Amino acid sequence: MTEHLKIREYKPGDKVLLLEILKLNVPEYFAQSEVDEFDDYLENKIEKYFVAEIDAKVIGAGGINFENNYRTGII
């Protein structure tokens, strides 16, 4: 099977799946409290956020927020 990576803009409908992906990594890599923090981020603090898919399956996400001058980003 050929894998095709696609990076696209985040949509609100992605939130539940992204939270589930994060939960798969608790407690080995993330604390449970980070699930709530991520939920809050996706709901209230998102600026530029992207979702990665392989063959239409979501495998991860990442993004950037900006300082007030829009010349400095926070990953």
Give domain limits for the chain. Answer: 5-74
Helix axes 15-23, 32-40, angle to 10 degrees: 160
Could you tell me the pTM of the whole model? Answer: 0.84
Region 54-74: what's the mean pLDDT? Answer: 89
The percentage of the chain sitting over the pLDDT mark of 90, rounded to a whole number, equals 81
pLDDT at 1 exceeding the cut of 70: no
The residue whose two tokens read 């985040």 is: 10
3: which residues sit within 8 A by CB, 6+ positions away?
54, 55
Positive or negative CA dihedral for 46, 49, 54, 60?
negative
